[in-house]
Amino acid sequence: QSYGGIDGDSASAAEIICLLSALTNAPLRQDLAMTGAIDQLGNVLPVGAINEKIEGFFDTCMARGSCSSHGVLIPKANVGDLMLRTDVVEAAAAGTFHVHAVSHIGQAMQLLMGRPLGDGSPECLIRLARERSHEFWRMGARRPEG
């Protein structure tokens, strides 16, 4: 684990979301932040300092003058650790700041990309990822060896 820049277990779920966004060409919502570790099965795992991370993003939103649609995605396993400041709790109760608890990366993908995960529709994320992966494979297969 590293403590410089955006790094470490707490950023791993957000990093995979960024990779999946690039793979599917599905833009990410810019009003939500995410923290969480991830395992090889896509489960979003708990992280430390959860209250400080939520409050830090809330403070950033407030400093910018807007929190109406803003919020955070956190590991569901961290819900029992929440002891947020009164102003954050009040904003959540008023619906002006949102705390979304997720247990799997698929839930986060749907929230952040605004598309269904795998219902078979043309815009579903699994279909987009599969098509783009095949496209990359075909591009690689066309390259001359040498």
Task: Kindly name the residue from 53, 66, 69, 133 that is annotated as catalytic.
Answer: 53
pLDDT grade, residue 45 (50/70/90)?
very high
- Rounded Cα–Cα distance for residues 102 and 78 (Å): 10
Mean pLDDT of 94-109: 96
pLDDT of residue 116: 87
Question: For the chain, what is the mean pLDDT?
Answer: 90
DSSP sequence for 103-131: SBHHHHHHHHH-S-SSSSSTT-HHHHHHH
Q: Work out the average pLDDT over 76-83.
A: 98
- Quick one: pLDDT band at residue 48, thresholds 50, 70, 90? very high
What dotted CATH number matches 9-142?
3.30.230.10
Annotated catalytic, 53?
yes
Q: Show me where the domains of the chain are located.
A: 9-142
Indicate whether 47 pLDDT > 80: yes
Burial letters for 107-127: b for 16+ Cβ neighbours within 10 Å, e otherwise? bbbbbbbebeeeeeeeebbbb
The alpha carbon of residue 92 and the mean position of all alpha carbons in its chain are separated, in whole angstroms, by 19
pTM, whole model, 2 decimals?
0.85
Tens digits of residue pLDDT in 122-135: 888 888 889 989 98
Pairing of strands 44-45, 37-38: antiparallel
**Contact (CB, 8 A) for 38 and 105:** yes
Selected catalytic residue, list 10, 21, 68, 133 = 10
Rg (CA), the chain: 18
Eight-class DSSP state of 33: E
